[in-house]
Every structure is written in structure tokens, then in C-alpha cells.
């Protein structure tokens, strides 16, 4: 652990924000008697455990997420006693700790990027004595063999005699003092300072687990301030990190936890969007700390954990300028999947795509090409007059639909041609508009759920909150004609307040809710024009009964 990090503690549905520097995962101690290889597989499928949650996220899932976001990953071995019955004896606990260490190391984690915490709340919750707890720590150390740090004494403060515990575990080589800071019991944060003095006395680093505004029904604003202050205090006193509990239990406010997010079987409800957004900004501040200027010659590519740095941010800013979609994270400095996909598309359209192994990496030559590519040259279609139609025939458009669209659009080429004649909007731009609507679903034009349910190829009158009046059409043909007329009337009439020019950019200025949609439609426009200018090779009909029409249309009948 190289620098101060803010953790997420309790992960019932996985990582709530990629801006956490670390995540703490805990799971059940009810381990079956299995051969070691089978027990390891069992551990990977074990669920994150907390008495207050019913949870579906497994250790395997959390390993994947922690790797994806480049997070420090702490696994908290938990629940060794239940109703005064010993579930896991110390020896078995040690074996499990060793297997968890194996799993983490095999997945690319190291002693600098992961740790194992030994029994959450050993005195408060599991009612262990100092001697009992020390035995669990010693057996864990025996099987982990010093490969990863072990976090000990993870409890509310003053539940153990810490001197006895630290004396009993002095032979553990990579101890970390893990201490809960439930801030509502410590308004002045004095325990933050006191715990650090104890850690110094025993010569071990310290981390705050399960921190936050608990044991009082805080209002969101007050609780948020407490959480932020706790993080600041932990950093001030030299903690390795501070973990904040972000999730309430079905909004029941058990213990009065602030809970930015509510666990209600979907993990999507946010108690206060304003405070959650503010908390993410706090996370970003710590997450970006220490970002250094990266050397020009560094090759940027997908790695696990993800690469990040000033060079990645520079690349992302240019991608955004060119209209690529980087999701809600934007230019966050992390070279993840959306950045990779955007780089791949840029290289493909620029004609500099390499082998599959190097397709989405950014070397010096690629970066120079990217940084020196102006938008109007890269996508001239965005700015060209859309009345400049190529006049494709209904047959040519039908062939495009046959290859690239949903089967229900078969034979609709004539409606695109008709709409072009009535409005002046080229059929190829109308097709590009529909292709963009369907592309994110992985299907051809007409394949999206909106298209299929409402005969709506374009998402017309569909807002982020769902389908509104006017989104449904009687047929695909009706949709093609009406939408073309609507675009003409709303965006291509110089007398309309929405008019911003007879270009794709002009239409997208008010038509789109996402700035990259115009560029993406230009990309489809380019590909569609390239497709339609090829010699038409009429495909054989799908059904035998269509063969007569096929022969009549495309071959001369010999009498």
C-alpha cells in the first residue's frame, strides 16, 4: 500500500464507484470439509457476508472488479462463532487464510495491492477472548507465510487489551492495525489520533475500517460532512486508508447509517444524489493524488489493473473532442474499456489499425496522429450539407437493409427514397440515424427494443426517463416518413429557433442529448455510403415463394 486510499466497506452488489482506491470484502466462515482444490473453488463462489444483507456478489466477482478498477483489495475473513458455537477452529481458519492468499496472488495481487483482515469485530461480535483471537491470527500467519499483510485487531476501540493482542502476534511479519472508527461515537475524532499513537507504540501501520456516520439517524448533509471529516483526519494522522460504509439496509437506517446508496435488491437507489455526487468528488481528489507526468514514449494499453496518468487523460480529452463516448467518467485518466473501444474506432477510421494484439494500444505514432487530427477533417460528414444526396435507389437501400437491418425492414427501401423526395434529407443520413439508435444494442437497424415495440427506428420522442407520447408509430414505414418530416420542420427550417445549419452537426445540436451522437451518426453515414456504392449483388430470397418475384425483378425471362 503505497499511498493513502479511501475504501468502500460493505459491497453487497459490488463497487459503487470506480474512484475508490480500495475495497473491503468480507465473507462467511462456514467452510465445508473439502479437498484443498475444491475448497479454493468454494471460496471463489462464496458471497460477501453481512448479517444485515442478503447478497449476490461473490469473491470471484469482487476480484474481477478490483482488478478492473485497479483497487487495493482487502479480504476480511469473518464469522467464526455463531450463537456461541464454534464454526471454524483456528487451524481451519488458517488453512482458509492461506488459500485466500493463494487466490489473490494467482490473480495478480501483491503485498502492495492486497491484504487479509482477520475476523471483523472479534470481541464485539464474535465474543472471542484476547487469547482466542491471537490463536486465529497465529494460524493465519502460519499458512499465509508472510506473503501478504495481515490486518489484526479489527474492532470497535477498547474491546480488547491491545497490548496483549500485539504481544501475542509480534511474530506476524506484515501486521497492519485495523481499527473501526464509528464517528458518531467520537465527535471530536480523538480516537483517530489515539489509535495512531497505539499503532506507533507497536510499530505497525494503521488503517480505518468500517468508518462513517453510524448510531444516530443523521440527515444526509450532516452525515456526509462527518464522513468527509473522518477521511481528512485519518489522512492527517498518517493512516494507510479510511474505509467508508456507503450502503443502508433497505433504507431502514439500521444503526442510523448515512448510506449514500440503499440496498434494495438493485443497489441503484441513491439516498441523496447531491451528496453522492459530492462524495464522488471527494473520492476523485484522493484517487488522483500523486498523479505524475508520464513519459512521452510510454505505450498506453489495457492492463490489469488499468493504466492511468496524465498521458491517458490527454488521450481521453482528444477522444472526447472528436466526439467519442467515454461514459460518465469522461477524461478520468484511466485507460479502461471505453477508452480502448474509442481508440480502436479512431485507428480503424484513420487507416492505422494494426494486428489484433496491438489494435487499441496508443504508441507514440498513434498519439501523434490522434492529437493532430482536427474534427472537421476526421469527420467532414458532420459539417457537410446534408442536402447533398447521392440518390441511391430503393433496390440499393433494400440490399443494405437485407444485410444490416432487422428482417421486418425488408422492402422498406422505397419509404426512405420517398422520405428523401419529400424532405430533401438523404436516405443514407436517415439510415445512419437509425443505425446509431440500434448500434449500442448490438443489432442492426430496427433491432433495438424501442424499434421493435414502437415501430420507432430513431428513438424519436424517447427521453432518458422512458418512452413518451409520440414515440410509437403505426408501422416502420409511418415512422420513416413522419420522422423525416419532423426533422425537416424542426431543424432544417431557417425560420425555426432550433435551426443551426443544414448539417448533421446542426441537427444534433438540439436533437441529441449526447454530444458524441453526431459523430457516431457521421461514422455510420460514411460506412453506409461506402456500402451502397458497391456493386449490388442481389441475395437469393429467403423463401421459395419469393423466387418468382426475384427472377422477374432481376433476370430477363426467356419465353
Domain residue spans of the chain: 5-287, 310-376, 382-532
Label the pairing between strands 72-77 and 114-118. parallel
CA–CA separation, 260 and 248 (whole Å) = 7
pLDDT at residue 255 tops 50: no
> What sign does the CA torsion over 468, 470, 474, 480 have?
negative
- Predicted local confidence at residue 420, as pLDDT: 95
The model's pLDDT over 499-512, given as tens digits with 9 standing for 90+, comes to 988 888 888 877 66
The model's pLDDT over 181-236, given as tens digits with 9 standing for 90+, comes to 766 556 678 888 888 988 898 899 999 988 887 655 556 777 788 889 999 999 99
CA–CA separation, 457 and 449 (whole Å) = 10
- Predicted local confidence at residue 254, as pLDDT: 45
For helices 90-106 and 36-44, the axis angle rounded to 10 degrees is 70
Determine contact, residues 6/20, Cβ cutoff 8 Å: yes
> What do you get for the CA distance between the two ends of the chain, in Å?
85
CA–CA separation, 518 and 516 (whole Å) = 6
How much is the average pLDDT of 427-441? 80
Domain 310-376, what architecture? Orthogonal Bundle (1.10)
CA–CA separation, 268 and 312 (whole Å) = 29
> What sign does the CA torsion over 508, 514, 519, 522 have?
negative
- Predicted local confidence at residue 174, as pLDDT: 92
The CATH number of 382-532 is which of 1.10.3470, 1.10.1060, 1.10.530, 1.25.40?
Answer: 1.10.530
Contact residues for 292 (Cβ-Cβ < 8 A; gap 6+)? 309, 310
Categorize the per-residue pLDDT at 26 as very low, low, confident or very high, splitting at 50, 70 and 90. Answer: confident
Query: What percent of the chain is modeled with pLDDT above 90?
Result: 25
Categorize the per-residue pLDDT at 262 as very low, low, confident or very high, splitting at 50, 70 and 90. Answer: low
How much is the average pLDDT of 100-110? 93
- Predicted local confidence at residue 558, as pLDDT: 46
How much is the average pLDDT of 44-55? 60
pLDDT at residue 131 tops 80: yes
- Predicted local confidence at residue 526, as pLDDT: 86
The answer regarding whether domain 5-287 maps to CATH 3.20.20.80 reads: yes
- Nearest to 408, CA basis, from 477, 458, 473, 460: 477
Amino acid at each position: 500500500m503505497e499511498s493513502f486510499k479511501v475504501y468502500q466497506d460493505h459491497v453487497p452488489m459490488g463497487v459503487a464507484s470506480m474512484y475508490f482506491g480500495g475495497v473491503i470484502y468480507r465473507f462467511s466462515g462456514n467452510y465445508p470439509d473439502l479437498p484443498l482444490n475444491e475448497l479454493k473453488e468454494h471460496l471463489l463462489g462464496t458471497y460477501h457476508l453481512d448479517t444485515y444483507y442478503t447478497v449476490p456478489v461473490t469473491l470471484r466477482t469482487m476480484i474481477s472488479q478490483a482488478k478492473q478498477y485497479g483497487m487495493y483489495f482487502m479480504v476480511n475473513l469473518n464469522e467464526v462463532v455463531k450463537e456461541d458455537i464454534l464454526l471454524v477452529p483456528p487451524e481451519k481458519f488458517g488453512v482458509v487464510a492461506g488459500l485466500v492468499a493463494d487466490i489473490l496472488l494467482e490473480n495478480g495481487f501483491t503485498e502492495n495491492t492486497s491484504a487479509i483482515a482477520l475476523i471483523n469485530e472479534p470481541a464485539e461480535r464474535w465474543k472471542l477472548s484476547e487469547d482466542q483471537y491471537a490463536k486465529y491470527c497465529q494460524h493465519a500467519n502460519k499458512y499465509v507465510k508472510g506473503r501478504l499483510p495481515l490486518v489484526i485487531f479489527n474492532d470497535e476501540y477498547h474491546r480488547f487489551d491491545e497490548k496483549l493482542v500485539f504481544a501475542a502476534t509480534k511474530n506476524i511479519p506484515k501486521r497492519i492495525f485495523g481499527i473501526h472508527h464509528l464517528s458518531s461515537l467520537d465527535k471530536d475524532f480523538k480516537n483517530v489520533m489515539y489509535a495512531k499513537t497505539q499503532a506507533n507504540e507497536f510499530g505497525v501501520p494503521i488503517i480505518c475500517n468500517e468508518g462513517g456516520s453510524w448510531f444516530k439517524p443523521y440527515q444526509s448533509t450532516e452525515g456526509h460532512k462527518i464522513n468527509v471529516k473522518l477521511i481528512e483526519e485519518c489522512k492527517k494522522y498518517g493512516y494507510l486508508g479510511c474505509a467508508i460504509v456507503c450502503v443502508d439496509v433497505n433504507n431502514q437506517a439500521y444503526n442510523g447509517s448515512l448510506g449514500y446508496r440503499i440496498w434494495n435488491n438493485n443497489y441503484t437507489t441513491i439516498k441523496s444524489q447531491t451528496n453522492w455526487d459530492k462524495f464522488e468528488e471527494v473520492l476523485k481528489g484522493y484517487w488522483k493524488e500523486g498523479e505524475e507526468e508520464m513519459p512521452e514514449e510510454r505505450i498506453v494499453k489495457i492492463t490489469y489493473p488499468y493504466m492511468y496518468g496524465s498521458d491517458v487523460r490527454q488521450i481521453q480529452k482528444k477522444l472526447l473532442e472528436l466526439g467519442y463516448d467515454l461514459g460518465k467518467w469522461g477524461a478520468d485518466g484511466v485507460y479502461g474499456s471505453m477508452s480502448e473501444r474509442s481508440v480502436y474506432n479512431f485507428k480503424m477510421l484513420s487507416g492505422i489499425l494494426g494486428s489484433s494484439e496491438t489494435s487499441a494500444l496508443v504508441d507514440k505514432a498513434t498519439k501523434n496522429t490522434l492529437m493532430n487530427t482536427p474534427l472537421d477533417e476526421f469527420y467532414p460528414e458532420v459539417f457537410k450539407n446534408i442536402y447533398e444526396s447521392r440518390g441511391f435507389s430503393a433496390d440499393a437501400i433494400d440490399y443494405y437493409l437485407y444485410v444490416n437491418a432487422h428482417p421486418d425492414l425488408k422492402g422498406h427501401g422505397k419509404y426512405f427514397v420517398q422520405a428523401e423526395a419529400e424532405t430533401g434529407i438523404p436516405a443514407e443520413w436517415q439510415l445512419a440515424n437509425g443505425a446509431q439508435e440500434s448500434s449500442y444494442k448490438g443489432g442492426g437497424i430496427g433491432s433495438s427494443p424501442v424499434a421493435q415495440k414502437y415501430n420507432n427506428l430513431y428513438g424519436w420522442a424517447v427521453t432518458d426517463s422512458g418512452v413518451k407520447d409520440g414515440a410509437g408509430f403505426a408501422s416502420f414505414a409511418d415512422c420513416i416518413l413522419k420522422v423525416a418530416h419532423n426533422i425537416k420542420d424542426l431543424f432544417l427550417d431557417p425560420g425555426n429557433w432550433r435551426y443551426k445549419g443544414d448539417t448533421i452537426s446542426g441537427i444534433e445540436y438540439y436533437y441529441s442529448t449526447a454530444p458524441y451522437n453526431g459523430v457516431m451518426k457521421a461514422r455510420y453515414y460514411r460506412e453506409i455510403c461506402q456500402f451502397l456504392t458497391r456493386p449490388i449483388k442481389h441475395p437469393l430470397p429467403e423463401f421459395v415463394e419469393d423466387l418468382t418475384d426475384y427472377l422477374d425483378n432481376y433476370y430477363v425471362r426467356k419465353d
